[in-house]
């Protein structure tokens, strides 16, 4: 065993003949190489921190300032006096010390100038007027034009690192209670009758003029003191303190690019995806990953990228915690009920894909039986958090159970080699539904739900992932997934399923990447890769706890009703001709579909991001508005004309778009009310208004999966290289969870989830409703255009 080998790497003893020293040169070399690698990473991190600290000014500007000071020093008497003051505190007055005094003075001037530039840049990033003007065909104001010039001038002097903008991002602004109350009351008006609404207005006024004044004062202090007044509380109280199972309720999944199938060999695809993940991790560690900038100018916060890898959620009796490790030299692979520790570094480098494939093949060929309880041990991570915390404390605090648990939690990520294929057949929608269900829940015990993400590899080479939600939002995982899918198709020129031809010409230094004609990874191993190490367990005392968790996870996964709708009648292309936001267009379709399905309107959740601010995560957009409900009703009223319906639809889309923009700019409703609620609990004061607001169920929870986050990704060149998106479980027991991705000009994927136990929901029925709504909206526009042409002629 490798552990035993390490233990005897060095031994020292004293005998009657003298000292006896024994050591293993190979192991000591590994220790030395590990230390060198660690120090290189520290130096690189220090260098990057310096570059980030002075951004947007380049480091070379210091020498330019030094030259200016020297020129002024020998041509201006006032500068002679400045350097003479500094010279008094130096140990000499020679020419060298004169140069030192000039350097110190130039350093002071340089730091002052950098501070002014950074603060000016931060002030520019506080301006959000550009967002409201750059969309919807509005004329761009002179203020926005000048702002744009200023941002470009200050940010174009040097290439930014991943975290270069962090110090310049503004803080999330705290809205006034009065404004939040006004937005909230507008959002609930279509959901209440007159009596209910009057009662809610009364509660809101009492809250605004009463306890809200005190709560807002404390929240203002937090917003001033912390980098983000929402994110830490959101992470703790919404995610980490939740005791509900992670499976279905919290974790989300992502699917493969279903229009492509690069290889059907499981070990080859697994090796390539693992290698790409490690390359992405290296880009993050070196901060070489390009930060995302809206419209190529305005940066988004990159804080969440820190925890993609080497991260796990650790259960606690009251609250969980997120643990991130600075480095990890291994991954953990699960196959046929067994866990293997796989070293992915050797000879001070990342293993090549062909070498990783050798490791994966050895696992697939391994015929050892699982230890007692090993197959289902991950069910503990799926079920109740307190139960898992107590079990962990009791049975995993020492011995081989602790060692194996450490190996999993300290791994870069977990890989699952499933024994079933992930299938897609345009003629059989159930296969894609099953594809999504496998990624979401697996068998209830074959995903380590605590890890930041788990790579899932089907027996036919298709892939997906299951991600824990507390450490980051879906957009961050989408960026990683987009990087992987694009790079697998890059330089191949392929835009259709072609076996064995992807990656054919992609070079990484002298490393040729791709798949051979037989489906295996290209290349010949240069070294013998480290053999996978079987993790050992003593789980007989834990069997009862494991089975209890498995029963909970099994009940949840059996209750999931998942439907993945592939809508290919039209996509973004037609929506653009309708002159409305594609996202608003789809949200209106969902409102119409839900009203037809449930016979009423419901509180609707759409996630938007607040990453324009430091450590921003998400805010809620409420798509069910007075305008959207008026349009939906008009679609069911035969007496409403086409012109009226079009007018109402455009008003509804404009209102939705404005609400989305407000949410992105820190003018949302729900995060502010949530934080006020947290403060009230700290102060032990009750608010009937907040209690009612935060108990309202989200029966329609929606989210758009972003794409195009990397400048390398060109959908027009590779139209089939986009992922089919991903999904999540329903938030309410009697509601729907809908995730969608606008995959191109003529393609949209909808991931629709609900619970079979609810008599009010049916995912397949809702998919039909969505299809009907989208078709009706297209017909509406086409009929209106025909009538308009007739009138004009």
Q: Which two tokens stand for residue 112?
A: 């002052």
Distance of alpha carbon 114 from alpha carbon 118, whole angstroms? 6
Strand partners, 312: 323, 451
Counts of helices then strands in the chain (DSSP H, E): 26, 24
Which residues are bridge partners to 464 per DSSP?
255, 456
Count of beta carbons in the 10 Å neighbourhood of residue 181: 22
Radius of gyration for the alpha carbons in the chain, expressed in angstroms and rounded: 29
First-last CA distance in the chain: 86
Helices (H), 156-254: 177-188, 194-209, 211-225, 231-233
Give the CA distances from residue 467 to residues 189, 308, 316, 481, 609, in Å, rounded to whole numbers and listed in that order: 36, 10, 20, 12, 18
**Distance between CA atoms of 759 and 770, rounded to whole angstroms?**
19
Cβ within 8 Å of residue 678, ≥6 positions away: 233, 237
Instruction: Round to whole Å and give the CA distance between 635 and 629.
Output: 10
pLDDT at 8: 42
Catalytic residue among 98, 387, 469, 707: 469
Q: Which of 294, 291, 290, 292 is nearest to 130 (CA)?
A: 294
Burial of 7 (0-12, 13-18, 19+ CB in 10 A): exposed
Q: How far is CA 564 from CA 178, 249, 418, 437, 561, in A?
A: 41, 18, 21, 10, 10
Here the contacts of 658-662 (C-beta below 8 Å, separation 24 or greater) are 658/132, 659/621, 659/622, 659/623, 659/625, 660/581, 660/583, 660/584, 660/606, 660/608, 660/621, 661/131, 661/132, 661/135, 662/183
Question: Degrees (nearest 5) of the Cα angle 29, 30, 32?
Answer: 65
Catalytic residue at 469? yes
The helix-helix angle for 642-664 and 582-598 (nearest 10°) equals 110
Look at residue 26 in the predicted model and tell me its pLDDT.
59
**Phi and psi, residue 337, nearest 5°:** 85, 5
Output the CA–CA distances (angstroms, integers) from residue 302 to 7, 53, 429, in the order listed. Answer: 40, 15, 37
Cα 563 from Cα 175, distance rounded (Å): 39
What's the pLDDT at 453?
A: 97
Q: Which residues of the chain have pLDDT under 50?
A: 1-10, 136, 491-507
* Alpha carbon distances (Å) from 673 to 209, 220, 470, 624: 15, 13, 20, 18
Q: Label residues 86-109 b or e (16+ Cβ within 10 Å = b).
A: bbeeeeeeeeeebebbbbbbbeeb
**Within a 13 Å sphere around the CA of 420, how many CA atoms are in the beta-carbon half?**
12
8 Å CB contact between 78 and 29? no
Instruction: Quick: pLDDT tens for 331-357.
Output: 999 999 999 999 999 888 999 999 999
Eight-class DSSP state of 167: G
pTM comes to 0.90
- Secondary structure of residue 464 in the 3-state scheme: strand
Q: How far is CA 665 from the centre of its chain?
A: 19
Report the DSSP pairing between strands 311-314 and 349-350: unpaired
CA 513/CA 276 separation, integer angstroms = 11
Are 725 and 705 in contact by the 8 Å Cβ rule? The answer is yes
User: What's the gap between Cα 247 and its chain centre?
Assistant: 18
Closest CA to 45 of 246, 286, 275, 257: 286
Query: 730 near 737, Cβ under 8 Å?
Result: yes
Torsion over CA of 178, 180, 185 and 187, rounded to 10 degrees? 160
Residue-wise DSSP of 416-428: EE-SS----BTTB
135-142 contact pairs (CB < 8 A, 24+): 135/581, 135/657, 135/661, 136/581, 136/654, 136/657, 137/579
Q: Which residues is 455 bridged to in the sheet?
A: 415, 465
Q: What are the tokens at 21?
A: 């020293």
Residue-wise DSSP of 152-163: HHHHSSS---TT
Task: Measure the CA–CA gap between 473 and 718, rounded to whole angstroms.
Answer: 26
- Report the 3 state secondary structure along 580-644: CCHHHHHHHHHHHHHHHHHCCCCCEEEEEECCCCCCCCEEEECCCCHHHHHHHHHHCCCCCCHHH
Q: State which H helix or E strand residue 687 sits in.
A: none
**Contact indicator for 766, 593 with CB cutoff of 8 Å:** yes
Residue keyed to tokens 């619970």: 755
Antiparallel, parallel or unpaired: β 18-23 and 10-15: antiparallel
Query: Contact 422/438 with Cβ under 8 angstroms?
Result: yes
Name the residue among 447, 437, 388 with its Cα closest to residue 417: 447
Backbone phi and psi for residue 683, each to the nearest 5 degrees, phi listed first: -85, -5
Strand partners, 738: 702, 752
Q: 388-394 contacts: CB < 8 A, separation 24 or more?
A: 388/315, 388/549, 389/315, 389/316, 389/317, 389/320, 390/317, 391/542, 391/545, 391/549, 392/315
Residue with tokens 């526009």: 781
């Amino acid at each position: 065993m490798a552990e035993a080998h390490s233990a005897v790497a060095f031994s020292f003893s004293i005998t009657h003949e003298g000292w006896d020293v024994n050591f293993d040169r190979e192991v000591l070399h590994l220790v030395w190489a590990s230390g060198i690698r660690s120090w290189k990473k520290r130096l690189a991190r220090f260098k990057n921190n310096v570059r980030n600290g002075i951004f947007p000014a380049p480091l070379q500007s210091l020498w330019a300032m030094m030259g200016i000071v020297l020129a002024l020093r020998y041509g201006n008497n006032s500068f002679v006096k400045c350097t003479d003051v500094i010279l008094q505190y130096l140990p000499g007055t020679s020419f060298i010390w004169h140069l030192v005094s000039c350097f110190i003075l130039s350093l002071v001037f340089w730091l002052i100038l950098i501070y002014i530039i950074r603060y000016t840049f931060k002030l520019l990033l506080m301006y959000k007027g550009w967002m409201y003007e750059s969309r919807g065909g509005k004329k761009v104001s002179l203020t926005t034009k000048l702002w744009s010039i200023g941002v470009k001038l200050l940010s174009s002097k040097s290439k930014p690192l991943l975290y270069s903008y962090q110090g310049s991002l503004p803080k999330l602004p705290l809205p006034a209670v009065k404004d939040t109350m006004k937005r909230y009351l507008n959002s609930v008006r279509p959901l209440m009758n007159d009596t209910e609404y009057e009662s809610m207005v009364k509660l809101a006024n009492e809250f605004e003029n009463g306890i809200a004044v005190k709560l807002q004062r404390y929240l203002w202090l937090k917003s001033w003191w912390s980098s983000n007044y929402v994110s830490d509380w959101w992470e703790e109280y919404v995610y980490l303190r939740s005791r509900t199972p992670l499976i279905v309720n919290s974790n989300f999944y992502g699917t493969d690019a279903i229009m492509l199938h690069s290889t059907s060999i499981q070990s080859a695809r697994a090796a390539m995806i693992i290698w790409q993940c490690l390359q992405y991790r290296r880009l993050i560690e070196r901060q070489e990953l390009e930060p995302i900038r809206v419209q190529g100018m305005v940066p988004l916060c990159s804080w969440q990228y820190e925890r993609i890898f080497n991260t796990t959620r650790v259960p606690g009796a009251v609250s969980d915690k997120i643990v991130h490790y600075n480095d990890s030299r291994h991954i953990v692979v699960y196959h046929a009920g067994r866990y293997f520790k796989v070293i992915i570094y050797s000879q001070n480098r990342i293993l090549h894909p062909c070498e990783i494939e050798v490791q994966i093949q050895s696992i697939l060929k391994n015929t050892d039986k699982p230890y007692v309880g090993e197959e289902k041990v991950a069910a503990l991570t799926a079920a109740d958090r307190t139960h898992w915390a107590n079990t962990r404390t009791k049975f995993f605090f020492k011995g081989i159970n602790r060692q194996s648990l450490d190996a999993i939690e300290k791994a870069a990520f977990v890989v699952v080699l499933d024994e079933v294929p992930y299938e897609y057949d345009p003629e059989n929608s159930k296969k894609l539904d099953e594809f999504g269900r496998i990624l979401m829940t697996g068998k209830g015990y074959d995903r380590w739900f605590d890890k930041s993400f788990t790579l899932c590899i089907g027996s036919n080479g298709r892939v997906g992932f299951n991600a824990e939600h507390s450490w980051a939002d879906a957009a961050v995982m989408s960026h990683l997934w987009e990087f992987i899918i694009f790079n697998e198709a890059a330089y191949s020129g392929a835009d259709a399923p072609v076996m064995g031809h992807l990656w054919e010409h992609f070079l990484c230094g002298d490393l040729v990447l791709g798949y051979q004609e037989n489906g295996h990874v290209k290349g010949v191993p240069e070294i013998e890769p480290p053999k996978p190490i079987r993790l050992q367990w003593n789980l007989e005392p834990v069997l009862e706890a494991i089975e209890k968790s498995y029963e909970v996870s099994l009940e949840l996964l059996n209750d999931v009703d998942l439907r993945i709708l592939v809508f290919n009648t039209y996509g973004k292309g037609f929506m653009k001709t309708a002159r409305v936001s594609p996202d608003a267009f789809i949200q209106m379709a969902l409102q119409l579909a839900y009203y037809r399905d449930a016979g009423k309107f419901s509180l609707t959740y759409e996630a938007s991001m607040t990453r324009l601010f430091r450590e921003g995560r998400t805010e809620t957009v409420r798509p069910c508005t007075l305008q959207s409900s008026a349009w939906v009703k008009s679609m069911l009223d035969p007496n409403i004309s086409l012109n009226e319906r079009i007018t109402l639809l455009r008003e509804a889309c404009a209102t939705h778009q404005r609400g989305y923009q407000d949410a992105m700019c820190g003018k949302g409703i729900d995060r502010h009310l949530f934080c006020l609620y947290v403060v009230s609990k700290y102060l032990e004061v009750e608010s009937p208004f907040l209690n009612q607001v935060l108990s309202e169920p989200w029966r329609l929870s929606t989210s758009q999966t972003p794409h195009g986050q990397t400048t390398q990704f060109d959908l027009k060149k590779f139209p089939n290289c986009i992922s089919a998106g991903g999904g999540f479980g329903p938030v309410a027991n009697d509601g729907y969870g809908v995730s969608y991705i606008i995959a191109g000009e003529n393609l949209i994927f909808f991931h629709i989830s609900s619970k079979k136990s609810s008599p009010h929901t049916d995912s397949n029925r809702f998919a039909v409703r969505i299809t009907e709504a989208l078709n009706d909206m297209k017909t509406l526009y086409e009929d209106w255009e025909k009538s308009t042409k007739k009138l004009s002629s």
